[in-house]
Structure 1
Amino acid sequence: MTDHDRTGPGHHHARHDSAQIDWEALGPILERGAELHTPLHQQIAAWLRELLTGVAGTGPDGVRRVLDIGSGPGVVSCLLAQAFPAAEVVAVDAAEALLERARARAGRLGLGDRIHTHHAEVPDGLDALGGADLIWSSKALHHVGDQRAAVAALAGHLRPGGLLAVCEGGLAPRYLPRDIGVGRPGLQSRLDAAGEEWFTTMRTALPEAADDIEDWPAFLADAGLRAPRTRSFLLDLAAPLSAEARGYVQTRLTRSVDLYGDRLDPDDRTTLARLTDPDDPAGVTRRPDVFLLSAQTVHTACAR
């Protein structure tokens, strides 16, 4: 599954069809996926701390309020609360079932007094949030038709010297060798291509979809922010994966079939049916060669 399916490592889900999704059923899957990506998000949090000290001049201890826009089940919200121990963190999401998971997670980790939730669509419904020293949004803004306007709306909530960090782009995650001994070699590449086509169709169908070049640093600059920075972070879980990680890959591949399997030829669909079958010896839950390699790109800039 390509990185364009945002039901993967955390709070990545399509706002335009959210009413049709069973978030109570999907919540545990999103939470487990985000937990697998914890090493990557810890790297990102450490980088944001450096930027707030060296570029924004605020410093980690000066971060008193953090907004996590598109928080999902709150895994990253809790990581941000740990990285910025003086801050209140507000998890913002359009799915109340996911916010319930965020509150429960915060309580289990002893962060319930510092993590609060706000039910809202992005970018609508954000006016009541107030200001923040750090605003984080991962894989949420590409589900908004006018991404440039969405960045500007978030930037409007930054306090002086505050930092906006948008996680968009990166590379499609890799799970499988080129030749897996089932079907034609190169399945992953064909699946990626189908995912790109699906993503383009999804973007085109969004309300008020703007035909903009996806230049996130330019969006940040247009919002009046300064000192743009971009950096990519790697998650590298080598084979053989844990049973939990292989289950995550199975879920991702199953979701790919649901979303854009009809763009693949019958042979590839047959291969995917075997890969996602827990009883098939060739399935990903039994294969020793399944891995997880993912790169996520973060774009940041500061308020003046």
Structure 2
Amino acid sequence: MTRHDHSATGADHLPSGHGPAASGNHHSGHGHGHRHGRDATDLDWEVLGPVLENGAEVHLPVYEQAVDWLRTLLAADGGPGPDAVRRVLDVGSGPGVAACVLAQAFPGAEVVAVDPGAALLERVRERAVRLGLGDRVRTHAAEVPDGLDALGGADLIWSSKVLHHIGDQRAAVAALAGHLRPGGLLAIAEGGLAPRFLPRDIGIGRPGLLARLDAAAEEWFTRMRTALPDTEDAIEDWPAFLADAGLRTPCTRSFLLDLPAPLPTPAREYVVATLTRILEAYGERLDEDDLTTLARLTDPHDAAGFARRPDAFLLAAQTVHTARAQ
């Protein structure tokens, strides 16, 4: 079940690909709060929606690369091809950035954005109309995976940074696979490489800040997974989960987000929102020196802050796992 805590600030890509907030499809993410520790009423989606949408827009190059690859896979091995795709589900859609990319890539398809957040689904509808996709993008309010029964079948299902917030990930993959039409493709964006956005030595605090944030994020993630209802202690082998769901020809590929310095303002805002969320989520696990450094990095008036640094960049990798129905 999901309430998209990961979509709160677009931070699920930082620092380790499964942090405390959503990436933008997330989340969402991947998004983007999940019911494993906070009620949805704790989050104001009217306020958080624009932040999440900005994070997803920063990652547009990744979505576009991934969807391009999905088009190629659909045409491989004698498949029906991308032009035969008539229905697409974006499960855990957040504000609909990926859903609209999917609608543009599959012009003959209806795209259904699935998310439990009413304010986020409103952003999906507004974005679709703005991009001229309002006649093909619709929304469906549902929890994941328990609320998916009414969705019906699809030729392509996309889910980004949602399933790692569900206790039984294997069962969640199987639930999504159950909605595939014959020959349909399931694509799950999970994992990748820890993003980097500053040099090792940034001139303030101790060098190696991001490595320490990675370690704190791993501890946070382990605690989060342990606290989930019905958590299964399973190796996080997404291709194996796909195979166990009865799908065939699993494929995995990673996609690079490479935004060099000088970093555009939206990407700077995304990283600052992420660092702010890190302070809130597991700041107590950091020492005073690192807390002081993060406070300076998130201060818009500090010359050493991320908003003003000439050396700021964003380098990240997102992994996508796919397999097809029989």
Match of 1:227 in 2: 249
- Report the residue type matching 1:288 in the other structure: P
Is 1:39–2:58 an aligned residue pair? no
Deviation at 1:10, TM superposition (A): 3.0
Match of 1:151 in 2: 173
Is 1:4–2:18 an aligned residue pair? yes
Q: Give secondary structure in 2 for the equivalent of 1:106.
A: helix
Asked whether the equivalents of residues 155 and 183 of structure 2 are also in contact (C-alpha less than 8 Å), the reply is yes
Partners of 2:39 and 2:65 lie apart in 1 by: 30
Q: Give secondary structure in 1 for the equivalent of 2:191.
A: coil
- Which of 265, 273, 280 aligns to 1:251? It is 273
Deviation at 1:286, TM superposition (A): 0.4
Match of 1:15 in 2: 34
Match of 2:158 in 1: 136
Q: Give secondary structure in 2 for the equivalent of 1:191.
A: helix
Partners of 1:202 and 1:157 lie apart in 2 by: 28
- Report the residue type matching 1:157 in the other structure: H
Deviation at 1:9, TM superposition (A): 3.1
Percent sequence identity over matched residues?
A: 71
Q: Give secondary structure in 2 for the equivalent of 1:153.
A: helix
Deviation at 1:15, TM superposition (A): 2.0
After TM superposition, the runs of 4+ consecutive aligned structure 1 residues lying more than 6 A away are: none
Partners of 1:8 and 1:67 lie apart in 2 by: 18
Deviation at 1:168, TM superposition (A): 0.3
Q: TM-score with structure 2 length normalisation?
A: 0.91
Is 1:189–2:211 an aligned residue pair? yes
Deviation at 1:247, TM superposition (A): 1.5
Asked whether the equivalents of residues 164 and 300 of structure 1 are also in contact (C-alpha less than 8 Å), the reply is yes
Asked whether the equivalents of residues 183 and 268 of structure 1 are also in contact (C-alpha less than 8 Å), the reply is yes
Partners of 1:18 and 1:112 lie apart in 2 by: 31
Is 1:218–2:233 an aligned residue pair? no
* Cα-Cα RMSD: 1.0
Q: Give secondary structure in 2 for the equivalent of 1:218.
A: helix
Cα deviation code 1:240-263 (max 9, x no counterpart): 101222111111111111111111
User: 1:56–1:235: structure 2 CA closer, same or farther, 3 Å change rule?
Assistant: farther
| Deviates most, 21-30 or 44-53 | 21-30
Partners of 1:248 and 1:223 lie apart in 2 by: 35
- Report the residue type matching 2:225 in the other structure: R
Match of 1:123 in 2: 145
Q: Give secondary structure in 1 for the equivalent of 2:300.
A: coil
Asked whether the equivalents of residues 56 and 163 of structure 1 are also in contact (C-alpha less than 8 Å), the reply is no
Cα deviation code 1:245-289 (max 9, x no counterpart): 211111111111111111111110010000000011110000011
Q: TM-score with structure 1 length normalisation?
A: 0.98
Deviation at 1:156, TM superposition (A): 0.2
Partners of 1:87 and 1:255 lie apart in 2 by: 36
Q: Give secondary structure in 2 for the equivalent of 1:150.
A: helix
Asked whether the equivalents of residues 33 and 248 of structure 1 are also in contact (C-alpha less than 8 Å), the reply is yes
- Report the residue type matching 2:149 in the other structure: D
Partners of 2:25 and 2:182 lie apart in 1 by: 29
Asked whether the equivalents of residues 25 and 56 of structure 2 are also in contact (C-alpha less than 8 Å), the reply is yes
Alignment of 1:67-78 (within 5 A): 67-78=89-100
- How many pairs does the alignment contain? 304
Partners of 1:56 and 1:207 lie apart in 2 by: 41
Deviation at 1:18, TM superposition (A): 5.2
Match of 1:28 in 2: 50
Asked whether the equivalents of residues 56 and 161 of structure 1 are also in contact (C-alpha less than 8 Å), the reply is no
Cα deviation code 1:188-247 (max 9, x no counterpart): 110111011101100110000110100000000000000000000000000110122211
Cα deviation code 1:132-154 (max 9, x no counterpart): 00000000001111000000000
Cα deviation code 1:96-150 (max 9, x no counterpart): 1111100100011111110010001100110000000000000000111100000
- Which of 198, 201, 204 aligns to 2:223? It is 201
Match of 2:117 in 1: 95
Alignment of 1:154-173 (within 5 A): 154-173=176-195
